[in-house]
A = this chain, B = another copy of it.
């Protein structure tokens, strides 16, 4: 236990498995594993890199190779890459299926409206049945891709749900037996357009309330691109401002743990949405000897750090205390210990059993 945190002693320590960031935002082709220090110190030991790129994304064998090389220097977390669907790359993607964790269908980036249904259909026809598919589709696009997924017997994960209509549609779809799962960005649970009226990517307050009401429908809590978008939106005059890729990670667990103390969530709610469900949905490996010790109930004020955050100064009631990775303590109270990084590219890992040879009679 670290001294300066222990003046107040009414806290509880709880041990969680290493947490999973299912949608780590990168604005282009990943250049390094730079954000992993922030991730591991915040309790995330597995990072699914989503190329939600503003400046290019992983869409083929070449860009995937580049991302793999750039990340080789080693990070502090295990990680994998997803590949982005475009209107044209349904056929090329087959070459790299075994090297990526999922297919991302960025509905809001596919510019060619006319062929949207045809393009998505082409992807459903070429992507392997059991491998995860993720989309950021909303409203009509969401309903459309849910139909296409259902017609093609595919399960689909909807990332960063922000509206009442969308969470209701997903709820109804689940009731009717569609294979759909979803996540909500942790920022969307704590920030709304009431706080930032111009930020269309945030929920309205009434939408945010609907998200909390449908907690049972939310399979996963995510980081996603919302923190990055908010950081940019709040620095409109600063042309050179580049949000840290780790923006939004440090406050994730403190926000959720504070809600536990306030009785709005349980520790099991968090564990299900940052570990059990992500691991199952994205068929991730077991991280042996990896865990996160969190502290509940101690009151502190979110400090200013290198990474910008709208929550600086907010009173929190929970924190990450110790992170153990592969049996080694790697972080204490938010600091990464001076150890060489142990993270690996797990993109080729599949939790599905290998096809068994025919039984001998």
Q: Which A residues have a C-beta under 8 Å from some C-beta of B?
A: 113-118, 121, 139-148, 150-151, 165, 168-169, 172-173, 176
| Residues from chain B with Cβ under 8 Å of A176 in the complex | 150-151
A139 touching B116 by the CB < 8 A rule? yes
Select A139's contact among B114, B142, B165, B173, beta carbons within 8 Å: B114
Kindly identify which residue among B115, B147, B169 contacts A146, using a CB–CB cutoff of 8 Å.
B147
Q: Are B143 and A147 in contact (CB under 8 A)?
A: yes
Instruction: Tell me whether A118 and B165 are in contact (CB under 8 A).
Output: yes
Minimal beta-carbon separation of A300 from chain B (angstroms): 40
Please, which residues of chain B bring their CB within 8 A of the CB of A146?
A: 147
Q: What is the bound-complex CA distance between A52 and B143, given in angstroms?
A: 24
Contacts of A169 in B (CB 8 A): 117, 121, 151
A117-B169, A118-B165, A165-B117 are known contacts. Are A148 and B139 too (CB-CB below 8 A)? Answer: no
A148-B139 Cα distance, complex, nearest whole Å: 12
Q: How far is the CB of A255 from chain B (nearest CB, A)?
A: 28
CB neighbours (8 Å) of A117 from chain B are 139-140, 142-143, 165, 169
Starting from the known contacts A116-B140, A146-B147, A150-B150, 9 additional A-B residue pairs (CB-CB under 8 Å) come to A117-B142, A140-B140, A140-B141, A141-B144, A143-B147, A143-B148, A147-B147, A147-B150, A147-B173
The 7 closest A-B pairs by CB, nearest first: A143-B144, A147-B147, A140-B144, A144-B144, A143-B147, A118-B165, A151-B172
Report which of B143, B168, B172, B173 forms a contact with A143, defined as CB distance below 8 A: B143
Q: Which of A116, A117, A172 counts the most B-chain CB atoms under 10 A from its CB? A: A117
Known contacts A143-B148, A150-B147; decide if A165 and B115 are in contact (CB<8 Å).
yes
* A176 vs B178: C-alpha distance when bound (angstroms): 13
Closest Cβ neighbor of A141 among chain B residues: B140
Whole-angstrom CA separation of A147 from B117 in the bound complex:
13
Complex alpha-carbon distance, A139 and B116, angstroms: 8
Say yes or no: A173 contacts B144, CB within 8 Å.
no
Across the interface, which residues of B come within 8 angstroms of A145, CB to CB? Answer: 143
